[in-house]
Amino acid sequence: MQKQALISVSDKSNLIEFAQFLSQKGYKILSTGGTFKHLQDNGIEVTEVKDVTGFPEILDGRVKSLHPAIHGGIMARRSDENHMNTLKEYNINPIDIVVVNLYPFFGKMNTGLSEPEMIEFIDIGGPSMLRSSAKNFYDVTVVTDSNDYAKVQEEIETAGTTNLETRKLLAGKVFNLTSAYDAAISTYLLNEDFPQFLESSYEKVMDLRYGENPHQQAAYYVDKTKNGAMKDFEYLQGKELSFNNIRDMDLAYKVVSEFEEITCCAVKHSTPCGVAIGDSVDEAYQKAYECDPVSIFGGIIAFNAEVNQSTAEELNKIFLEIIIAPAFTEEALEVFKSKKNLRIIKVKNPVSDKVSYAKVDGGLLVQSVDNQFSTDLKVVTEKQPTEKQMVDLVFAQKIVKWVKSNAIVVATNGQAFGIGGGQTNRIWAAQQAIERAKKVQTEELVLASDAFFPFRDSVEFAAENGITALIQPGGSVKDQESIDACNERGIPMVFTGMRHFLH
Residue 488, pLDDT > 90, answer: yes
E strands, 125-239, are 141-143, 202-208, 218-223, 234-237
Give percent above pLDDT 70 in the chain: 100
Mean pLDDT of 166-186: 93
Q: How far is CA 160 from CA 3, 27, 347, in A?
A: 11, 12, 48
Which amino acid is residue 164, in one-letter code?
L
Start-to-end C-alpha separation, the chain: 64
CB 345 within 8 A of CB 236: yes
Mean pLDDT of 418-429: 92
What confidence score (pLDDT) does residue 53 get? 83
The residues, any chain, with a CB within 8 Å of residue 482's CB and separated by 6 or more, are 452, 453, 455, 456, 458, 459, 472, 476, 493
Helix (H) or strand (E) holding 265: strand 262-268
- Please state whether the peptide bond connecting residue 406 to the residue before it is cis, i.e. omega within 30 degrees of 0: yes
Residue 60, pLDDT > 80, answer: no
Task: Write out pLDDT tens, residues 197-207.
Answer: 888 889 999 99
What confidence score (pLDDT) does residue 217 get? 95
* CATH fold for the domain made of 233-346: Cytidine Deaminase; domain 2 (3.40.140)
What confidence score (pLDDT) does residue 432 get? 93
Residue 63, pLDDT > 90, answer: no
Residue 476, pLDDT > 80, answer: yes
Decide: residue 58, CB within 10 A, 0-12 exposed, 13-18 middle, 19+ buried.
exposed
Task: Write out pLDDT tens, residues 321-371.
Answer: 999 999 999 999 999 999 999 999 999 999 999 999 998 999 989 999 999
pLDDT-based confidence at 52, cuts 50/70/90?
confident
Q: Which residues of 310-325 are buried (b: 16+ CB within 10 A; e: fewer)?
A: bbbeebbeeebbbbbb
Task: Please name which of 335, 260, 362, 345 lies closest in space to residue 302, comparing C-alpha atoms.
Answer: 345
- Span(s) in the chain for CATH 3.40.140.20: 233-346, 378-495
pLDDT-based confidence at 386, cuts 50/70/90?
very high
Residue 379: helix, strand or coil by DSSP? strand
Mean pLDDT of 96-122: 89
For the domain bounded by 4-190, which CATH number is listed?
A: 3.40.50.1380
Q: How far is CA 296 from CA 117, 275, 285, 395, 407, in A?
A: 49, 11, 11, 20, 19
Mean pLDDT of 241-257: 96
Residue 58, pLDDT > 80, answer: no
364 CB neighbour count, 10 Å cutoff:
10
What confidence score (pLDDT) does residue 50 get? 86
What confidence score (pLDDT) does residue 112 get? 83
DSSP code at position 385: P
Residue 2, pLDDT > 90, answer: no
Active site residues: 135, 269
pLDDT-based confidence at 499, cuts 50/70/90?
very high
Mean pLDDT of 147-170: 95
Mean pLDDT of 230-252: 95
What confidence score (pLDDT) does residue 381 get? 97
Quick one: CATH architecture of 378-495? 3-Layer(aba) Sandwich (3.40)
pLDDT-based confidence at 461, cuts 50/70/90?
very high
Whole-number mean pLDDT of the chain?
Answer: 93
Residue 151: helix, strand or coil by DSSP? helix
What confidence score (pLDDT) does residue 459 get? 93
Residue 66, pLDDT > 90, answer: no
What confidence score (pLDDT) does residue 312 get? 97
